[in-house]
Amino acid sequence: MKIAIINGPNLNLLGKREPEIYGKLSFGEYFETLKAQFPQVELSYFQSNVEGEIVNQLQAIGFEYDGIILNGAAYTHYSYAIRDAIAAIKTPVVEVHISNIYAREEFRHKSVTGGQAVGVITGLGMKGYELALRFLLER
């Protein structure tokens, strides 16, 4: 089974950026933990601060992979381009947010991409990625 994790802007700074919200672990460190925990899964990881690169990645793998876990970060709240890319592909997408977007600023309460996902996990920290992975494996 092939599952991709795609992270959006500023998530390359996990472990450094606002550790009181996002924790002290880098995503690279966490990704190694996921790979060890799920050796039966071919996991890939992509991160970009550029909206078009995320769209390109969704299109590139969206007909080949068994699942995509997407944390669009700030793009979640306004990227119709990413929303349309999710709608255009066949691979199921689970949207994940490390922080609880509903407990933050009001502009973060809306997800334009979540309506195209098969599910949304928010506010459970990095554990959200593991839960999304488990969901995709059981689907």
Residue among 30, 75, 97, 129 flagged as catalytic: 97
Q: CB 17: neighbour CB atoms within 10 A? A: 12
Question: Nearest 5°: phi and psi at 105?
Answer: -55, 150
Residue among 22, 30, 75, 129 flagged as catalytic: 22
Q: Which residues contact 113 (CB under 8 A, 6 or more apart)?
A: 70, 72, 75, 76, 79, 82, 83, 86, 95
Q: Which of 86, 139, 81, 74 is nearest to 114 (CA)?
A: 86
Does the annotation mark 80 as catalytic?
Answer: no
> How many degrees, rounded to 5, is the angle at CA 55 between CA 115 and CA 128?
55
For residue 75, give Cα distances in angstroms to 25, 30, 42: 22, 22, 26
Amino acid at 4: A
Does the annotation mark 22 as catalytic?
Answer: yes
Active site residues: 22, 97
